[in-house]
Amino acid sequence: MSLLTWGMIGAGIAVLVAGLFLVRARFAAASGAGRVLVLGPVFEAVALAIFAAEHFLAARDLSAIVPRWIPGALFWTYFVGAALLAAAISFITWRYVRWSASLLAVLFLIFVATIHLPNLTKHLHERLFWTIAVRETAFAGGAMVLAGSLWPRGRSAGTTLILLGRFVVACTFVFYAIQHFLFPLFVPGVPLGKMTPAWVPAPTLLAYIVGITLLVAGVGLTIRRNGRTAAAIAGTVLLLLTIFFYVPILLLEIRSPLAVEGVNYVGDTFLFAATALLAGFGAD
């Protein structure tokens, strides 16, 4: 197993252990759906740490993604890695979270504006392009909700961030749900280009279950009194999908050239699960 694979996995495990230890007091103080939601920032931090490690250990490869018109591609790759790591530390220590979440949302939106939108006309009819662009936007939406929930009560900025971020996540849920129904043989959760492995039993049924969950949760997020429950259910299903679907895939690919891809799929779905949980913050 390569240093890159070890580094990404090690970073994720380290942050998960530290995050679960540090969240104990807030977890004990929460009740009902809130106990699930309070784990959202921890899971977000785990995924951010995985991708931060990738930015540090595979910087030259990732620098190729930086648009050519932006000078200093390698510098910006390391900068993004440092930003992701800083946000992960902020989330698990629960310090300056309002600002780290706000800046994280801005970072994801910059990805969309500089990497995806300039290629819109070239890939207008490609399913995978829209899946990735919407994914990055949803990640920004989850961070918006978290930031808005920590804004001083009564401030319009906080309310705006919550409503806008939750709307973005809800729309993403519905969009992905439709993809699960139309293309059930692609991996569930974030429906990217990978096909569901042949050893997975009833892949179409699994896709439909995840699709129905996302559809119901997407509608539920738009209803104020159901927001927390919808977010908790969607986040839990996506978390279970990560543990019982993507982690086994990673373990089977760990000694193959697909190892890094396997870690990325785990990190992506973990981040999507965290985004679902963050969408429930600030809801009554």
Q: What does each C-alpha distance from 31 to 58, 189, 207 come to in angstroms?
A: 41, 27, 31
pLDDT higher than threshold 90 for residue 95: yes
Question: What would the pLDDT profile of 7-41 be if each residue is shown by its tens digit?
Answer: 999 999 999 999 999 999 999 999 988 999 999 99
The residue with tokens 């949980």 is 277
**Would you tell me the crossing angle of helices 97-111 and 73-93 to the nearest 10 degrees?**
150
Q: Which amino acid is at 180?
A: H
> For residues 109 and 142, is the Cβ–Cβ distance under 8 A?
no
Residue 57 pLDDT: 97
Q: What is the pLDDT of residues 225-279, one digit of tens each?
A: 888 999 999 999 999 999 999 999 999 999 899 999 999 999 999 999 999 999 9
- Is it the case that residue 105 has pLDDT exceeding 90? yes
> Is the pLDDT reported for residue 283 higher than 80?
no
Residues in the chain: 284
Determine contact, residues 13/50, Cβ cutoff 8 Å: no
Q: What's the whole-model pTM score?
A: 0.95
CB 46 within 8 A of CB 270: yes
Residue 80's nearest CA partner among 102, 97, 64, 63 is: 63
State how far the alpha carbon of 99 is from the alpha carbons of 158, 185, 207, 281, in Å.
12, 40, 36, 16
Instruction: Provide the pLDDT confidence category of residue 284 given band limits of 50, 70 and 90.
Output: low
Picking from 98, 188, 111, the residue whose alpha carbon sits closest to that of residue 145 is 98
DSSP string, 184-237: TTBPSSS--SPBPPTTSSSHHHHHHHHHHHHHHHHHHHTSGGGHHHHHHHHHHH
Checking if the pLDDT of 188 tops 70, the result is: yes
Question: Torsion over CA of 79, 81, 214 and 244, rounded to 10 degrees?
Answer: 170
- CA-to-CA distance for 273 and 232, rounded, in angstroms? 9
Distance separating alpha carbons of residues 9 and 242, to the nearest angstrom: 14
pLDDT band, residue 156 (cuts 50/70/90): confident
**How many CB atoms sit inside 10 A of residue 67's CB?**
11
| Cα–Cα distance for residue pair 55/82, rounded to 1 Å | 8
Mean pLDDT, the chain, rounded, equals 95
Predicted confidence band of residue 205 (pLDDT cuts 50, 70, 90): very high
